[in-house]
Structures are given as C-alpha cells and as structure tokens.
Structure 1
Amino acid sequence: MIQPWTLLSSEMAFDHRWYKLRRDTVKLPDGRVVDDYFVSERPGVAIAVPLTTENNVILVRQYKHGVQAITLEFPAGTFRSESPATAAARELEEETGYSPNSMIDLGTCFDDSSKNSNLVHIFLASGCVLTGRQRLDELEAASGIEVVLMSLQEVTQALEDGEIKSMSSVAAGYKALRAIGA
C-alpha cells in the first residue's frame, strides 16, 4: 500500500527573486528519516495552445538558458495572484501580440512532481487574432522571441518528431489536439 511521507520540518535553503529552494526533513513510511530532500518552490505556470481564426497554431521559438538551446513551445509563463486563464491569455498577448476570443480549460499537470511544487494550467485559446505587438520582458527581449504559425498537421509532426520538447508544451499540445479532434 502506498503511504505518504511525513514532513518533519521545512526551511528555505535559498531564497532569491528567480529561484526558491526548500529543504525538507521527511520521515519515510519505513521509519527512515531523510534530512536533505530539496524542493524547488515555483509559481504556477499557465500555457496556451492558441488557434487563429484560420485554424493555424501559434508557437514561439526562443532561447532557454536552462537547457542552453533554442526551443519551440506554446506561449507560457508563471503567475502568482491572477487566475490561470488570465495568466495564459496575458502570456499569449505579451509573447505573440495575439489575443484569444475564448479560453478553454484543458486541465492541469505537474511540472516535475518529485522536485518542483508547481502546477501547469493548460488552455486552448481559440479565435486568436493579431491585436498588437509583442511586449517582452527584459530577458525575453535580450534574445528575442520568434512567433511561428503552423498548421495542425505541422504541430502534430513537431510533437511526434521531438521538435517540441518542453514537457509542458508536449502535454499541452496533445491535450489540445485531442480536444479539437485533430
């Protein structure tokens, strides 16, 4: 039978505006104590799989330093106080200049349930139209974000071929394709 661990104590090991790391002391079901189980305290993530009125999918190509690679992903970002749907629409507009007509909640998934504390909220953003221009934050603006339009078939191929590698984008892509029956 699966049993949860018992949290004995918790302290912030590293607290910076970009990264928070918590050190937990836990008691395992067999009685052993682990005094250095580290967890990244991360804000929620909202991701949009945007469809234009012409049924093209909007993606972003950008540099991600954690993997030191240029990635192809769906627009996404973190949030703390706004609703997940509002955050997904905001990230879409900031990164691409497109605004959605509607946001359909496709559910949540864990980012990395062993070492991260956050949830990823996935939305299908439909009826997207170009309403403005990108509003990138300072780090995004430093290297730029390329807006990429793809057909549903091209997105399916990019998921299958591994061109889209970010786990949250892979999950969001497959959930969205299933939701629209593609």
Structure 2
Amino acid sequence: MTELTWKIRSSTYIHKGPWATLRSDKCEMPDGRIVEDYYVLEYPNWVNAVALTNENKILMVRQYRHAAGIVSLEIPGGVIEDGEEPATALRRELLEETGYEFGDLELLSTVYANPSTANNKTFCYLAKGGKKVQEQMLDEHEHLIVEEYTIAEVKQLLADNKIAQALHCTGLFYALMKLGELH
C-alpha cells in the first residue's frame, strides 16, 4: 500500500488562545517533497448529543453564532475540558445548557469538522431518558433557548435545510439511523 502520511519536521506557534490555536508545520511528504508552511488550527475536542426526553422529544438549542453571523438551531453540546472523558463532558454540557439529566448515553460517531485544517474531533452521542432537574447554568457569553421537537419535526427541519451546523446534522442523521427513523 502506498504511504500517504506526512512527517512533521518542525512546528511554530503563531497564536495560542483558549478556543483556538494556530500553528505552522514544516512537513515532508512521502516522496520527499517539503511543504514549508502548512497551517493547522488546534481546537479542543467537542461533544454533542441528540437528546431525547422521557416524552420522546428531541432537545434543541437556538443561539447566535458570531463567526457566521447567524442564529443557529443546534443539538446541545460543547467543549471537552482538559482531562475530561467525553461522556462526562456531555453530561455536564447537557445539564448546563438544558437543565436535563440523561440516564442512557450511547456514542454514535466520532467525526472531524475539517481534518485538512483543524485537528479536533467531535464525539456524537444519543442521549435517552432525559428529565429536567434544574435550570440552565450558562457560561458568561452563552445565551441560548431550549426548544423541544418531535422526531418528525426534526426530520422535516433537516429536509428543509434549517439546521446549519454540519456536525450537528451528522449527529442527527446517525441518531435517526440508530432509531430506525430513516427509510
């Protein structure tokens, strides 16, 4: 089989921040050619979930996303903190963003948002048995509205291209397959 992996010869950090870091790698391709400046965005890993309540409703969150300049309808989730397991991060994020606790978590997929320029991955879960146990506990710059949808409504939102976040669409499609809802 043909070798495809590049070797990193050196890395230089251009910017280091809490949410994004930019580095420039000097790489050697398998055939010996050198790539002088390959820019890589380093992000923390993320987690999200298709969160089903005890009433079989899917919890979605609506919030403003500044980089795109849109109000986005999404599934709940967020950043995995250093040293945190994905399932632990998900339980924390679900509780903070929605006020719901979930008894059953199942990892559906692990995907990369853009493996050509970013190094992080997203763990997509199906969370079942959700019950509201508290009010939201949002971060300083978070403002989101929790909404409930039937499975049929979510399928229609996807069909109508009303969910713009690609990683969340991915999680929704995996969950709908798992639930036997895609025909």
Output the TM-score relative to the length of structure 2. 0.93
| 1:25-64 equivalent positions in 2, closer than 5 A | 25-64=26-65
Structure 2: state its 5+ residue gaps.
Answer: none
Instruction: Tell me which residue corresponds to 1:5.
Output: 6
Contact 2:19–2:44 under 8 Å retained in 1: no
| Residue matched to 1:156 | 155
Runs of 4+ in structure 1 off by over 2 angstroms are: 28-32
Q: Given that residues 110 and 124 in structure 2 are in contact (C-alpha distance below 8 angstroms), is that contact kept between their aligned partners in structure 1?
A: yes
* Aligned pairs for 1:1-182 within 5 A: 1=2, 3-79=4-80, 80-140=82-142, 144-182=143-181
Q: Which letter does structure 1 place at the counterpart of 2:159?
A: E
Which stretch of structure 1 is more off in the superposition, 129-138 or 11-20?
11-20
Q: CA deviation at 1:123?
A: 0.8
Number of corresponding residues: 179
Note the aligned Cα RMSD (angstroms): 1.2
Alpha-carbon separation, structure 2, partners of 1:28 and 1:123: 35
Structure 1: give runs of 5+ residues left out of the alignment. Answer: none
**Corresponding residue SS for 2:159:** helix
Q: Which deviates more from structure 2 when the two are superposed, residues 67-76 or residues 30-39?
A: 30-39
Q: In the alignment, residue 21 of structure 2 is paired with which amino acid?
A: K
> Which secondary structure state, in structure 2, belongs to the residue aligned with residue 138 of structure 1?
coil
3-state SS in 2 of match to 1:89:
helix
Give the partner amino acid of 1:166: Q
